Amino acid sequence: MKKNSITTLNQFISDQQSHFPFVQGSLSRIFRDLQLGAKMINRDVRQAGLIDILGDFGNTNVQGEEQKKLDVISNEVFIKLLEMSGDCVCILSEESEDIHWCEGADNAKYILAMDPLDGSSNIDVNAPIGSIFSIYKRLSMDKPVTMEDVLQTGNQQVAAGYVIYGAATMFVYTTGSGVFGFTLDDSIQEFCMSHPNIKIPQNGNIFSVNEGNYTEFPIGYKSYIDWCKTSGDNKKIYSARYIGSLIADFHRNLLKGGIYLYPPTNKAPNGKLRLLYECNPMAFLIEQAGGKATNGNIRIMDIQPTELHQRTPLIIGSENMVSLMHEML
Ligand code: AHM
Ligand code: MG
C-alpha cells in the first residue's frame, strides 16, 4: 500500500537550505514570515463577509486606484512581520508610494517587492485573489542601499512566488530550481506540498485577456486574439477565461497551459501591470516552469527598471503560445 507522506513548506525549505550551507537562514526566515502573513490574510479572507473588511478603505494608492480595506490590512500584516524579523533592508509595496525602510535592518541582505493583495476588485465578490512577492539581494554589503539596489532586473531575483486565496489557499514559489506548490491544510494550518516541480504544458487552449479593451489593442494583439477565436491550433478554437485577478488567471494557465495578455491601451499605454512586484515574479515562475514572458519586445526579466511602480505590457504563459503571439507583434 502506498504510504502518504507529508512535506510541509517549512520542512522543504529547511531541507533545501541544508544543501546550501552558505545560506544563513535569512531567506528561510523571510519565507516563514510570508507564510505567516498569508495565513493571517487567509483567515480574514475566509470570514470576509462576516467581519468589517469588505469595501473601500476610502483612499487611493500611489497608482490612483481605490484602496480596499483588505489591501491596507494585507500591506500592514506583511510589513509588520517582515520588519520584526529584520531580514529585509527595505520593502517596496504596491500600496506605498515610497520604499519602506525596515527599522534596525540596515545590515540586512534582502530587498522585497510585493503586491500584498492583488486583484482587490474581486474581494467583495468572493472571487480568488492573491499576494505576490519578489526577493532580491542588495548589490553590496559594504555600502548603503540605493535606488540601484531596488531597481534590479528580474534576472537578479533570488526568489519569487505568490499565495492564491481561492477554493483552497496555495503558496507557489521558486528560488530558481523549479516551481513548487503547497496547499494550506486548514486543520493543521500548514502549507503542505501538493504540486512538486510544476511544469506548464508547451501548448494550451486558453487565452486570458480583458477583451473589453479590444478596440484599443495594437493590431498584433488583435490578430492573435482573432486567431484564438477562429483558428487556434489545428482549428481547435481556444477558450476565453479571464477572472481579472492576475494570480487566478496565471495559476490556472500554469497548471493547464494557456496564455495571459495585458496589452497596452490608450488609457494605459504601458499596460496596467507593474514590473517589479507583478510581472517580474510571474516571469521568474513561468520560466522556471518551462514557459515564457515578454512585453512584446523583450523578455520581461531583461527589462531594466527605471521607476519603482513602472508598468509594462505582459504576455505570459505556455512557450509555443507566447512565441506565436510574439511573432504576430
Ligand atoms: P491591482 O493590483 O490593483 O489589483 O490590479 C491588478 C489586477 C490584476 O490582478 C488583473 O489581472 C488586472 O488588474 C485586471 O485588470 P482589468 O480589470 O483592467 O482587466
Ligand atoms: Mg496588483
Closest ligand 1 atom number to CA of residue 119: 4
pLDDT digits (tens, 9 = 90+) for 237-275: 899 999 999 999 999 999 999 999 999 999 899 999 999
- Rounded to the nearest angstrom, the distance between the alpha carbon of 273 and the centre of ligand 1 is 7
Q: Answer yes or no: is the C-beta of 244 below 6 A from any ligand 1 atom.
A: yes
Closest ligand 1 atom number to CA of residue 130: 9
pLDDT for res 208: 98
- Please state, in angstroms and rounded to a whole number, the distance separating the CA atoms of residues 174 and 189: 21
Residue 1 has pLDDT above 60, yes or no: no
pLDDT for res 62: 63
- Paired with 253 in beta bridges are none
pLDDT category of residue 56 using cuts at 50, 70 and 90: low
pLDDT average, residue stretch 141-159: 94
pLDDT average, residue stretch 157-172: 97
Nearest residue (CA) to ligand 1, atom 11: 246
Ligand nearest to the CA of 128: 1
User: Would you state the cell numbers that stand for residue 23, as one nine-digit string?
Assistant: 545560506
- Paired with 233 in beta bridges are 236
pLDDT for res 49: 64
Phi/psi for 33 (5° steps) reads -65, -40
pLDDT digits (tens, 9 = 90+) for 80-129: 999 999 999 999 999 899 999 999 999 999 999 999 999 888 888 889 99
Closest ligand 1 atom number to CA of residue 210: 19
pLDDT digits (tens, 9 = 90+) for 170-207: 999 999 999 999 999 999 999 999 999 999 999 999 99
Least Cα distance to 263 among 215, 306, 327 occurs for 215
Closest ligand 1 atom number to CA of residue 120: 4
The per-residue pLDDT of the chain, averaged, comes to: 91
Residue 24 has pLDDT above 70, yes or no: no
- Rounded to the nearest angstrom, the distance between the alpha carbon of 75 and the centre of ligand 2 is 12
Ligand nearest to the CA of 243: 1
Q: Answer yes or no: is the C-beta of 315 below 6 A from any ligand 1 atom.
A: no
Q: Answer yes or no: is the C-beta of 66 below 6 A from any ligand 1 atom.
A: no
pTM listed for this prediction? 0.93
Nearest residue (CA) to ligand 1, atom 4: 119
> CA angle 238-239-243, nearest 5°?
140
pLDDT digits (tens, 9 = 90+) for 279-306: 999 999 999 999 999 999 999 999 999 9
What domains, with CATH codes, occur in the chain? 9-195 (3.30.540.10), 206-328 (3.40.190.80)
Least Cα distance to 181 among 166, 195, 164 occurs for 195
Residue 236 has pLDDT above 80, yes or no: no
pLDDT for res 51: 65
pLDDT average, residue stretch 215-224: 96
Residue 3 has pLDDT above 60, yes or no: no
pLDDT for res 123: 81
- Paired with 7 in beta bridges are none
User: Would you state the cell numbers that stand for residue 278, as one nine-digit string?
Assistant: 507583478
